[in-house]
Amino acid sequence: MLTKGIADRYAKALLELASSTEELDLFANQLDRIVELDEKDKSLIRFLSHPKVDAVKKKDLVKKVLGPYLSRYVLSTILLMIDKSRSHLLIDVAKRFGQIADGVRGVEKGAIITAVRLPDDLFERLEKDIQHFSERNIFLQQELDPSMIGGVIIKLGNHIYDGSVRAKLQHFRDKMKKVNVISG
């Protein structure tokens, strides 16, 4: 819980530095790229988090590898985190900043989960239909779960709308238990 609070403070400090929408978008994009890099290869964060690697070496690597692609504020924040031995929180800070920035911009991200990839026109129609239920701008990504029997699960913010065949069968089974049609 303590680390979540620390990550939140760094993310909010970056938000204060982003005095315009353009900078907010720039910071969010840069931090999103760092998260994507970490998802592909954990070696950067592992290196930055290693207690036996000198802070000077960590900062030199960040300046050389990431520096040319980062705004001075994002770079300075990462270097400060290294100085404070908090570089292991970089991904948490980046993700939290993205959440806060989305809130400021009125954006809500979510996912449509299906067993097989939906055709683009159907995906876009679902996204448009879901947009009608929100005052925010909805951006969905499609995720595949081959273990699903069928149907669709929609994750939006803290809400999950489960329209999967599995959920419907479970609901049907629960109803049948209530009227004692089946046991167990």
All structural domains of the chain with their residue ranges:
2-104, 108-178
Pick the CATH number of 2-104 from 2.20.25.10, 1.10.3720.10, 3.40.50.800, 1.10.520.20: 1.10.520.20
- Give the dihedral sign, CA 70/74/78/80: positive
10-24, 84-98, 139-153, 158-172 — most confident range: 84-98
Q: Which two tokens stand for residue 92?
A: 């948490």
Rounded to whole angstroms, how far apart are CA atoms 120 and 124? 6
pLDDT at residue 55 tops 60: yes
pLDDT at residue 21 tops 80: no
pTM of the entire predicted model: 0.70
Q: Are 122 and 92 in contact (CB under 8 A)?
A: no
Q: Report how far apart, in Å, the C-alpha atoms of 2 and of each of 19, 89, 122, 159 are.
A: 27, 11, 43, 25
